[in-house]
Structure formats: structure tokens, C-alpha cells
Amino acid sequence: MSKTINVAESVPNQGFFQFLLEELKPKGKIFTPFNIISFPIIILGLVIIYLRFKNGIGSVTNLTQEVPWGLWIGFDVVTGVAFAGGAYVLVFMVNILNLKKYKPILRITVLNGFLAYLFYSAALLLDLGRPLNVVNVVIGNNYGVSSVLFLVGWHFLLYMLALFIEFSPAVAEWLNAKKAHRFLTAISMGAVIFGITLSVLHQSGIGALFLMAKDKIHPLWYNSYLPLLFVVSSVFAGISMVILEGSISHKVFTDYMDKTDNKHHNSILVGLSKICALGMFVYMALLVLVFIHEKNWVHINSPYGYWFLVEVIGFVMVPMLMFAYAYRSHNTLIIKIAAIMTLIGILLNRMNISIICYRWEDTERYVPSWQEFIVTLTIVFIEIWVLRWIVRRMPVLRSGPKWAAGSH
Amino acid sequence: MTLSRRTFLKAMGATAVALSVGKEATAQTSGEEKPEFMAILYDSTKCVGCLGCEYDCAEAHGNPDYEIPIDPPMRKTDDKQRTIVNHYETSKGRIPRKMQCMHCNQPACDAACLTQAMHKCPEGPVIWREDKCMGCRYCMISCPFDIPKFEYGSTNPQIVKCDMCIDRIREGETPACAYNCPEEALVYGKRSDLIREARRRIVEEPDRYYDHIYGEHEAGGTSWLYLSPVPFNELGFNVNIQKSSYPALTKGFISSIAPVDILLPAVLLGIYEATKSNNTKEEDQ
């Protein structure tokens, strides 16, 4: 496995297409536990996607007239975008604040963000009843400019482009395209500045999507600060995802990494845990403010109230304290556990707003069908496959070829 | 990473685009002054619950074989039927209530729609336009009355809702339900005239009516107005609905987009320039 790694740097003389063909072949073991689990699920998911286009959305989902957005939107888009927030936070830290320490994990984070957005928009297309008309949003004279969704869509789309530009030097290094590399590196600063701006707006925009659902979401979760809460929580949600992904890829992709000492990786984790703790503190402060402002204590002594406390205390306050403690004691195990808890908390929050506490007064509740779960898993698995393919070929975790050094 | 003048100018250009989009957005939500919307007044004290309007509506929308299911006592509009009349047990006995799209003055669905498929016509009706809709169902999330229905079973699904018989209105005719109503429980006319008429009825017969016109101010005012002999919550209305329009809820967010799109890049550039000296120092080491 480890012998094939340097192929990318030695190929340019072979001819471009031969090189590409060579690169398309799988690298690494085929029968890993992950492949054995994910492959059948992906096949099943593709069958379900086929059925969805053949028989309509209702044939594979449990969506109703009352709950028109289910797991595909609630998880893939609303939750997934928060999880992918690490890209803009890290880009801000490295490229704007000049915190060089975090540079080793920048490319993998940007790549993760880009792929997440790419696949979540694919999931979004599955959920559209008339997906061909999506062109109306991009071209033509049908702009619904007063729509939050329109603005989210455009910011989303442009941000994907920005992420691609930010990542593109790695592609150029892989293809040994020196001229393209110089050009792409030159324009990436614009992409950085715009990427951050676009992120702040679409992260908050996803919260703003639910502003008009005022009578449908439980008052403990609905408030006029939703956009602000969404953007603040995307900071530590994204960073927690970076911590988790970093820890996983540190184990899985060891062969594709530079031999950096563990010490440096740990100091990155400790630094990130401080940011998480601070972000979560701000988020908690906002939650308390909203709670008092909306006089929400009347709702606390009810099943939904207890559920709210589970989310806010169990999965925001506790991991916040864990991050703070781990920052002081440099305990990376606690950082990782806190990151997982934070991610669960964000998942709970987004699911509560979009599904669990949406139409909470109805007697008939929406529960996702098994097909919806399988398709969601399929999207995530394909994304991981593509991520793995790229990491094993392009200089994502390791540094690029010598000619590219210093220009970035 | 260096920042050339060209990239900077590019960045500013893109900002200008973003700004222009944002500006338009705020202009649209603030709502143009409406000419005079047409409306329908439904007087539940006159309605005898014959359900004739359900058949007329079905026929007018291409479903002449419509049959009213007997089973669920409380029915809802769905992806086939645009209007429903249910009977409610109230403090003044069994009272019918017709349900359909309220045709808000400032509809949430229209503001939500990112392709202008949901559209408030100058005549008053809120209609759905097939060629524009991409089926995202955000209108269903946004509508406070749960009116737009989606054909989940179709490969080319439509959003189904009352269109107030827009084709008939444009030809100067009365919507099918109001045209055929045998008891004149449904009256079609200019919205302001109907509000006056409703007030007159309440004043002249205060014992017969509950002193409120549902739809005069609900959700910022609607083109469907209701009179009832009992408080409206007894007829299953959402009486907690806000009096200002629903699009107003997102106005703050939408109008903040343009300033953020402009100011944040400038701030980021500033921070970038400020930390640059750090950069060179570190590289020297």
C-alpha cells in the first residue's frame, strides 16, 4: 500500500491520459470492513434513488402534507452544512489571522467542506419534486429575490466555487500543472475572503429558513435569533468535525501523511478545543438571553422542556466544560469525546428544529422511512469514497511537490 | 498567498453584484402598495353546509367525478381537493366552515418561493405557476395556514391549492364556489367593500355574529374573510396567528445580507493586512 504513494510525483512523463487511467485504479486494500459495509448500502441506495425518480418522492419517503421536509433536508442540508462549517473557520484562522500552526490540517478541511457541499446539494436535488426547474434559480428571469431560500441557494453555490478554488492548487500539484498552480494560488485569496463572507451568510440563512414557520416549531426552539444561533453554532460544530475527522484520518491515512510529530497534532487539537469552548460559551450566552427574552421557562416543565434541557445542558454545556478543561490539561482524549458530544448536540438541535419539534402539536408524527435512512447513508458513504480517492492521490495531508512549496 | 490588485478588484466587483441582489430583495419584501384586491366573504351563519362548493371547485379544476369521502369527519384539503367544508360542534350548535387558501395580502409562500412560482396576482389571488416551480416545498413550510399541497405520488408533482379561479376572475367572472353558492354564504367583491359589508352585518345583527372579521388583519390581512356566530377558535381557526405579515419575519435577515456582503470582506481584508507583518516575522525566523 505504502509503495504506491509517490506515483503522483513521478508520472508526468507518461502522458496525461495514461496517468489519469493509472490514477483511476483503486489504491489500498479492497476488502476492508468499511468497504464491505458501505458497498451494499450504496448499491441499495442507488436502487432507492432510481425508484424515487420512477415513482415519485412519496414512494420511498414518509413525507406528508404537514411535514414536507424530512431527513434528506433535516440531516443532509440543515445538519450537514453546520458540520461542514469547519472549512470557513479554519480558512479564516490560517489565511486571515495567519495562524500558521493550523496549516497542516487546512487542505483536508477545505476538501471535506467542498465534498460535503457537493454531496449535500446532490441530496437536495433528490428532494426536489421538479429538479429540472432548479435552473430557474440560476439563470432566467425567475429570481425570487425576496426568498431566504434563494439567497441561501446562491450563497451556497458561490461558496462551493470558492471552496473549489481554495482547494484547486492541490489538484494542480497532483497534475503537475505549474502554470495553473500559479494562477490558482493567485486568485485563492479572493476566494478566501468571499468564502468566509458567503459562509457566514448561508450558515445563518439556514436558520432564517425557519423564521416563517413560527407557528409550527416548538417555542423553545423557535425564536427570531435563529440565524444568529445557527451561525455561532456552525463555528464549533465545524471545528468539532475537524477534530473528529482529523483524529480518524490520522489513523486511516497514516501512509499518506507527512511524518509530523504527534506533538504538533496534539497542540492543534488543544488550540481547537479552546476555540470550541469559547464559541460554545457565546452560544450558551445567546441561548440564555433568548430564554429570558421569550419567557421560555413556562415551557420547561414538560416533555419537550426536558428534551430541550438534554440538548442544551447535556450536549452544549457539558462538552463546553470538557473543552475548557481539556485545554487546560492538554488531554486530547477528552477533546475527542467532547467533539463527538458537540456533534451530537448540533445534530439534535438541527433535527429538533427541522423534524422532531416541527409540528410538535400534531397527533400523527413524521418518522423517516428506512429508505430515507439508506439514501442518507449512501450519500455520506459515496462522499467518503471520493474523499479517500482524493486523499490517496493528491497532496492533501502531505505537503505538495517541491516546486509548489513557498508559493502558498 | 499574495493579494494582487486584480483579485481585490474582482472581489469588490462580486460584492457589488451581491449588493444589487440584496437591494432588490429588500425592495420586494417591503411590498408594493396594493391596487385593490378582489376577495370573498364567507358568512358561516348563512352557510347550510350543502358542500356544493366542493363539487363546483372540483369541476372547475378538472375533476368532475369528485366524490366526497364520508369516513373522516374532519377532512383537510389535499393534493386533489382544493376546498373542504367541515362541520364543527360549537357552543351555538353544529356550524359549517369552508377551508381553502386564504390568499394573503402579503403571502408567506410568495416570499418563500425562490423561483416566483408562487405569485400574488394584482387581482388578489395567490397562484402557483407550473413552469417555474422546482418542487422544494418551502412554500409548505412557510404557509401559516398549511395550504399548499404536494403530489408525492407523481414523478412531475404539482403544488395544489385554491387559485380563486384566476382564469374566471380575469374574464370578469365570479369564482366557481361563490358563483354557485345557493345561500349567498359566499360573496365575491372588492376586499374593502366586503370588509364594509361584513362590518355592517355585525353592527346590524350583533346577536347573530361574533364581533370579529377573521382575515381582516390576520397574517397581515387576507383576501378570504370570515364571519362566524362563535369565537373563531371553536371553528378550528388558529386565533394566535400574528397580525403582521409573515414575510415581515424574514425582512430583518434579508436586509442584513447586503451590508454583510459588503462590510465583511472589507473587515477581513483589514485583518489580513494587519496580521501580514506577523507573517513576515515568522518566516524570518
Cβ proximity of A110 and A87 under 8 Å: yes
- In A, minimum Cα distance to B255 occurs at A146
Q: Cβ contact (<8 Å) for A213 and B141?
A: yes
Q: Cβ contact (<8 Å) for B157 and A130?
A: yes
Domain that holds residue B204: 38-107+164-235
CA A306 – CA B241 distance, rounded (Å): 26
Strands B224-227 and B38-43: parallel
Non-local CB neighbours of A148 within 8 Å, separated by 6+ positions: A205, A208, A209, A211, B112, B250, B253, B254
Higher-confidence residue of B182 and A259: namely B182
pLDDT greater than 60 at residue B15:
no
- In A, minimum Cα distance to B251 occurs at A146
Q: How many CB pairs under 8 A join A and B?
A: 201
CA distances from A298 to A220, A222, A252, A358, B123 (A): 10, 14, 49, 19, 44
- The alpha-carbon gap from A334 to the nearest alpha carbon of chain B, in Å, equals 31
Please report residues of B whose CB lies closer than 8 A to that of A149: 112, 114, 136, 138
Render the burial of A285-317: b for 16+ CB within 10 Å, e for the rest. ebbeebbeebebeebeeeebbebbeebbeebbb
Q: Which contiguous run of DSSP H or E holds residue A123?
A: helix A106-127
Cβ proximity of A285 and A232 under 8 Å: no
What pLDDT, on the 0 to 100 scale, is given for residue A13?
56
Sheet containing B38-43: order of strands = B186-190, B38-43, B224-227
What pLDDT, on the 0 to 100 scale, is given for residue A1?
37
- The alpha-carbon gap from B82 to the nearest alpha carbon of chain A, in Å, equals 13
Whether residue B152 lies within 8 A of chain A, CB to CB, comes out as yes
Whether residue B246 lies within 8 A of chain A, CB to CB, comes out as yes
What pLDDT, on the 0 to 100 scale, is given for residue A367?
94
In a domain, B213, yes or no: yes
Number of H helices, E strands in chain B: 8, 9
Q: Cβ contact (<8 Å) for A133 and B133?
A: yes
Please report residues of A whose CB lies closer than 8 A to that of B264: 196-197, 200
B227, three cell numbers? 364571519
- In B, minimum Cα distance to A96 occurs at B272
In a domain, B75, yes or no: yes
Q: What is the mean pLDDT of residues B236-263?
A: 92
Whether residue B262 lies within 8 A of chain A, CB to CB, comes out as no
Q: Cβ contact (<8 Å) for A147 and B135?
A: no
Q: Using DSSP, state whether B14 is helix, strand or coil.
A: helix
* CA atoms lying within 13 Å on the CB side of residue A379: 27
Please report residues of B whose CB lies closer than 8 A to that of A53: 155
Q: Please provide residue B248's backbone torsions phi and psi, each rounded to the nearest 5 degrees.
A: -60, -25
**Range with lowest mean pLDDT among A261-265, B61-65, B258-262, B271-275:** A261-265
Tens-place pLDDT, residues B204-230: 999 999 999 999 999 999 999 999 999
Whether residue B101 lies within 8 A of chain A, CB to CB, comes out as no
Phi/psi region, residue B165 (left: phi>0; alpha: psi -120 to 50; beta: rest), is left
Tens-place pLDDT, residues B110-122: 999 999 999 999 9
What pLDDT, on the 0 to 100 scale, is given for residue A8?
46
- At residue B58, what is the residue type? A
CA A219 – CA A216 distance, rounded (Å): 9
CA B224 – CA B215 distance, rounded (Å): 6
Please report residues of A whose CB lies closer than 8 A to that of B78: 65
Whether residue B276 lies within 8 A of chain A, CB to CB, comes out as yes
Please report residues of A whose CB lies closer than 8 A to that of B285: none
In a domain, B216, yes or no: yes
Number of H helices, E strands in chain A: 16, 0
Q: How many domains does chain B have?
A: 1
Band (B12; pLDDT cuts 50, 70, 90): low
Interface of B with A in 125-144 (CB under 8 A): 131-138, 140-142, 144
Rounded to 10 degrees, the C-alpha dihedral A346/A351/A354/A359 comes to -130
Tens-place pLDDT, residues A345-371: 999 999 999 999 999 988 889 999 999
pLDDT greater than 70 at residue B202:
yes
Q: What is the mean pLDDT of residues B245-270?
A: 92
Cβ proximity of A329 and A303 under 8 Å: no
In a domain, B78, yes or no: yes
Please report residues of A whose CB lies closer than 8 A to that of B268: 92, 96, 193, 196-197
**Could you name the CATH architecture of A44-361+370-393?**
Up-down Bundle (1.20)
What pLDDT, on the 0 to 100 scale, is given for residue A11?
47
Q: Cβ contact (<8 Å) for B275 and A92?
A: no
Q: Among partner residues B114, B153, B260, which is closest to A153 by beta-carbon distance? A: B114
In a domain, B152, yes or no: no
Q: Cβ contact (<8 Å) for A196 and B246?
A: no
Length of chain A: 408
Q: Cβ contact (<8 Å) for B144 and A154?
A: no
Tell whether ipTM is more than 0.90.
Answer: no
Whether residue B258 lies within 8 A of chain A, CB to CB, comes out as no
Q: Cβ contact (<8 Å) for B79 and A193?
A: no
In a domain, B6, yes or no: no
Give the residue extent of every domain in chain A. 44-361+370-393
- The alpha-carbon gap from A344 to the nearest alpha carbon of chain B, in Å, equals 25
What pLDDT, on the 0 to 100 scale, is given for residue A179?
87
What pLDDT, on the 0 to 100 scale, is given for residue A6?
45
Whether residue B72 lies within 8 A of chain A, CB to CB, comes out as no
Residues of chain A with pLDDT under 50: 1-11, 407-408
Q: What is the CATH number of the domain that holds B71?
A: 3.30.70.20
Q: Cβ contact (<8 Å) for A58 and B282?
A: no
Interface of B with A in 207-236 (CB under 8 A): none
Strands B186-190 and B38-43: antiparallel
- In B, minimum Cα distance to A67 occurs at B141
What pLDDT, on the 0 to 100 scale, is given for residue B218?
95
What pLDDT, on the 0 to 100 scale, is given for residue A22?
78
Q: Cβ contact (<8 Å) for B7 and A189?
A: yes
Q: Cβ contact (<8 Å) for A129 and B238?
A: no
In a domain, B23, yes or no: no
A32, three cell numbers? 476492508
User: What DSSP string describes B107-141?
Assistant: -HHHHH-SSS-EEE-TTS-EEE-TTT-----HHHH
Q: Cβ contact (<8 Å) for B257 and A196?
A: no
In a domain, B260, yes or no: no
Q: Which long-range contacts (CB under 8 A, 24 or more apart) does A130-135 make?
A: A130/B133, A130/B134, A130/B135, A130/B156, A130/B157, A131/B134, A131/B135, A132/B134, A133/B115, A133/B131, A133/B132, A133/B133, A133/B134, A133/B135, A134/B134
**Range with lowest mean pLDDT among B10-14, B17-21, B264-268:** B17-21
Beta-bridge partners for B89: B94
Return the percentage of chain B with pLDDT > 70, whole number.
84
pLDDT greater than 80 at residue B25:
no
Q: Cβ contact (<8 Å) for A56 and B157?
A: yes
Cβ proximity of B224 and B39 under 8 Å: yes
